[in-house]
Amino acid sequence: MSTSQRFDLGHTDDLMSFLAASPSPYHAVANAAERLEKAGFRRVAETDAWDGTSGGKYVLRGGAIVAWYVPEGAAPHTPFRIVGAHTDSPNLRVKPLPDTGAHGWRQVAVEIYGGPLMNSWLDRDLGLAGRLTLRDGSSHLVNVDRPLLRVPQLAIHLDRSVSTDGLKLDKQRHLQPVWGLGDDVRDGDLIAFLEQEAGLPAGEVAGWDLMTHSVEPPAYLGRDRELVAGPRMDNLLSVHAGTAALAAVATGPGAADLPYVPVLAAFDHEENGSQSDTGADGPLLGSVLERSVFARGGSHEDRARAFAGAVCVSSDTGHAVHPNYAERHDPTHHPRAGGGPILKVNVNNRYATDGSGRAVWAAACEKAEVPFQSFVSNNSMPCGTTIGPITAARHGIRTVDIGVAILSMHSARELCAADDPFLLANALVAFLEG
């Protein structure tokens, strides 16, 4: 590893712990906040008046976190360097009336969140996690991290065509998990069970945001352990890297003299369009950045200057070339696992990268001595998108889309090279330092 890099394979070990401990966006931001607290950051409430003191601060709202570090002597118009990411992943989420069942099976009613590879949730031991809201309005995290639910697949004897015609799943009928036996399905059973698991008084839960997760832990894979398999890499891999990078910059020897205000913005609801109060298309980031300027005595002119000089790196996982489906990729752009982070480009602005953004990212990677690769979609394939174009359009901030190349995106369990997470984190440190 280069002497200019801050992270090594120990970062990937820590990523695996972070993935395992973050089965929901609410857990992810709580874990990110804990790491930032250890680096000297302090939480500020949106309902309080903010001061303009230097140092690290963060805001939590639901499944989103925005954290920033103000260097000593930073002017109100000091521009921002932002790492953007998202905390949510496609999965199965519990409905408002969760208790259901049929034919002697007790089941949990779920709704499809985002665009999961639905077959990856079949015949897999699932836990349940998320947020419980009590009658007094307080919220409590819950995590049943043991085999609790299972979506059983139909035996091949009852569907011989699956081998010739492929698996066809109806989202309503075929994805409701079982969690017990019996014909007596009683309303309130699941929530009463979760109240016990969370150590809460019976009957106090008034609302919930709950989701399934695979209980199989992340693991190194392969002869030389050069691969990592795990859940929610899209996009907790970037949340973890951004958190580590911000903490490293804020505690580094040059923290007091940084030319930018480094920021981490990890949003919820990217997988279903980002349109929420905790999504990238909501007001959270703009509000935090503006209040940071005004707390340091800035004017609207200072706000305009700070935004005009800002750059955002939208970090999200992308597609490594698949060895079994290489024809689905652009024939001249084949990002390889282990080849370093990817720069995502789409001329129709599904990604926000342009030539000037590419130059910023190339400079950061060169400073960190990290290789990077370019990704564009096959012209015959529709291109996905990220929070990048939303951030650029909503806030007028120059944005570049990057990430780590993975396989099995949107599966319950994804795959990447073991080296790529710490290469990304090292590049993000160089970007935030400017």
Do 76 and 171 share a structural domain? no
**Within a domain: residue 219?**
no
Do 364 and 303 share a structural domain? yes
With a cut of 70, say whether residue 172 has pLDDT above it: yes
> pLDDT at position 136, please?
96
Do 150 and 190 share a structural domain? yes
Q: Which range marks the domain in which residue 164 is found? A: 91-214
> pLDDT at position 291, please?
98
Which tens digit of pLDDT belongs to each residue from 74-129? 999 999 999 999 999 999 999 999 999 999 999 999 999 999 999 999 999 999 99
Do 127 and 82 share a structural domain? no
Do 402 and 296 share a structural domain? yes
Which tens digit of pLDDT belongs to each residue from 267-304? 999 999 999 999 999 999 999 999 999 999 999 999 99
With a cut of 90, say whether residue 1 has pLDDT above it: no
**Within a domain: residue 222?**
no
With a cut of 80, say whether residue 144 has pLDDT above it: yes
Question: What's the mean pLDDT in 420-432?
Answer: 98
Provide the CATH number for the domain around residue 295: 3.40.630.10
Strand order through the sheet with 227-230: 219-221, 227-230, 414-417, 405-407, 318-319
Instruction: Quickly state the pLDDT bin for 6 (edges 50, 70, 90).
Output: confident
Q: Which of 269, 268, 233, 226 is nearest to 412 (CA)?
A: 233
Question: What's the mean pLDDT in 328-345?
Answer: 96
Which tens digit of pLDDT belongs to each residue from 18-39? 999 999 999 999 999 999 999 9
Do 384 and 240 share a structural domain? yes
Provide the CATH number for the domain around residue 102: 2.30.250.10
- Indicate the average pLDDT of the chain: 96
Among the candidates 214, 242, 263, a domain finishes at 214
The total number of structural domains that make up the chain? 2
**Within a domain: residue 43?**
yes
Do 331 and 260 share a structural domain? yes
Do 345 and 333 share a structural domain? yes
Question: What's the mean pLDDT in 166-171?
Answer: 94
**Within a domain: residue 2?**
no
Could you give the CA distance from residue 16 to residue 13 in angstroms, rounded to a whole number? Answer: 5
Which tens digit of pLDDT belongs to each residue from 378-394? 999 888 999 999 999 99
**pTM to 2 decimals?**
0.97
Could you give the CA distance from residue 126 to residue 122 in angstroms, rounded to a whole number? Answer: 10
- What is the Cα gyration radius of the chain? 22
Do 387 and 297 share a structural domain? yes
**Within a domain: residue 368?**
yes
Backbone CA torsion sign across 52, 55, 61, 64: positive
**Within a domain: residue 46?**
yes
Give me the amino acid identity at 34.
E
Do 196 and 106 share a structural domain? yes
**Within a domain: residue 1?**
no
**Within a domain: residue 4?**
no
Do 238 and 153 share a structural domain? no
Do 239 and 199 share a structural domain? no
Among the candidates 150, 179, 214, a domain finishes at 214
Question: What's the mean pLDDT in 327-344?
Answer: 95
